[in-house]
Amino acid sequence: MTMTAKPASAAPPEAASTSGFLDRVLKVRELAILVVLVLMLLATQLDNHAFLSEQGIKDLLLNATILVLVAVGQATVVITRNVDLSVGSTMGITAFAAGEFLRGGGNPLVGVLIAIALGIGFGVVNGLLVSLGQVPALVVTLGTLYIIRGLDSIWFGSKQITAADLPSGFADFGHNGFGAVPYLALLTAVVLIVAAYYLRSYRSGRDLYALGSSPEAARLAGVPVRKRILTAYIVCGALAGLAGALYLARFGNVDSGTGNGYELTVVSAVVVGGVAFTGGSGSVYGAALGALLLTSINSVLPSIGVSSVWVQAIDGILLLLAIAVDRVVALRVAAVLRKRAAQTRSAIHHA
């Protein structure tokens, strides 16, 4: 990242080494997941040579895309020190809405747009409730989780959409790709890169980090706090909506239970990916890597002969491990900074 590159002349050596140290820590956090992921995949490949075949890679990517999309949206919200628990419900209802539209012979592109628009609608509701209500996001979005799930049940009842109801081109889009790279993964990669670039290079993106880091300071600095929180929820809702449409394209099967409990997987992915739940730090790349890691475990375990009943337990262990590592690293960093500050002081003193 160019942001972390330093001009040669700017700083005294002491300060420079401190920031270099921090930069390393932050980069290492994302690099660590990547290393774990690569090691895991390589080890599995040694055990089972068919694992990383063209189809194998394609499956890994396909499995990851939807979770990555929702995780990117969730990360945007978590960076502002909030959370959106309604993403699973949103994904379910938007998948169903798009399915209903397509079953009636609608244009696939319009179907996707409908899903996104519906997601944006729920994002607006969440964003307004959180930013205006001064109520913890956890509680608000737990409420909307159930409301949206309820709407889903009322609207669709016991109806079900199957692949046979959908235009064939739509399903093809969900399965095919260029060689080992599915179209869905490409689309997700584009979204990921755009989101990362927005968060890094636009004032409003930087504001999200600022208000997650210190809401009070953000208010005093004139950051439009409510507007920014609303934006984060809209992004999150839109991506959950897009994910709903892609879910439909990939699986073809949707019922009123689709996406149940998905929000917890998403939050795990985001946290494993190093986006701090206390806001202000982490990146969507990290969240995407976290999502990739979690979904890859799902594929890895069966292929090395471990029963899939272990998957959830291992996900949980991974989550605790990630949080423990973050905590230890944070304490270490704080200790180092304190010591450095003390050294600088005494250096000034004795000068």
Tell me which residues touch other proteins (CB under 8 A).
Answer: 2-4, 6-7, 10-12, 15-16, 18-19, 22-23, 200-203, 206-207, 209-210, 212-214, 216-224, 279-281, 333-335, 337-342, 344-345, 349
**Least spacing, CB of residue 245 vs other proteins, in Å:** 28
Position 55: which residue type?
Q
Helix (H, G, I), strand (E, B) or coil at 254: strand
Structural Rg of the chain based on CA atoms: 22
**Least spacing, CB of residue 331 vs other proteins, in Å:** 12
- Kindly tell me which of 8 and 313 has the beta carbon lying closer to other proteins: 8
- Kindly tell me which of 39 and 341 has the beta carbon lying closer to other proteins: 341
Residue 91: Cβ within 10 Å count: 33
Q: Is the distance from CB of 229 to CB of 82 less than 8 angstroms? A: yes
**Least spacing, CB of residue 40 vs other proteins, in Å:** 30
- Kindly tell me which of 241 and 280 has the beta carbon lying closer to other proteins: 280
**Least spacing, CB of residue 46 vs other proteins, in Å:** 40
**Least spacing, CB of residue 314 vs other proteins, in Å:** 30
- Kindly tell me which of 79 and 294 has the beta carbon lying closer to other proteins: 79
Residue 234: Cβ within 10 Å count: 21
- Kindly tell me which of 80 and 295 has the beta carbon lying closer to other proteins: 80
Cα gap 261→236, rounded to integer Å:
17
**Least spacing, CB of residue 295 vs other proteins, in Å:** 28
- Kindly tell me which of 135 and 342 has the beta carbon lying closer to other proteins: 342
- Kindly tell me which of 175 and 200 has the beta carbon lying closer to other proteins: 200
Cα gap 278→88, rounded to integer Å:
22
Cα 221 to chain centroid distance, Å, stands at 28
Nearest to 40, CA basis, from 319, 303, 268, 313 = 303
Q: Is the distance from CB of 171 to CB of 249 less than 8 angstroms? A: yes
**Least spacing, CB of residue 228 vs other proteins, in Å:** 10
Cα gap 258→283, rounded to integer Å:
28
Cα separation values, 201 from 1, 218, 219, 230, Å: 11, 18, 21, 19
**Least spacing, CB of residue 335 vs other proteins, in Å:** 7
Burial 277-298 (b: 16+ CB within 10 A, else e): eebbbbbbbbbbbbbbbbbbbb
Cα separation values, 318 from 88, 289, 291, 295, 301, Å: 21, 13, 12, 12, 14
- Kindly tell me which of 154 and 220 has the beta carbon lying closer to other proteins: 220
Position 121: which residue type?
G
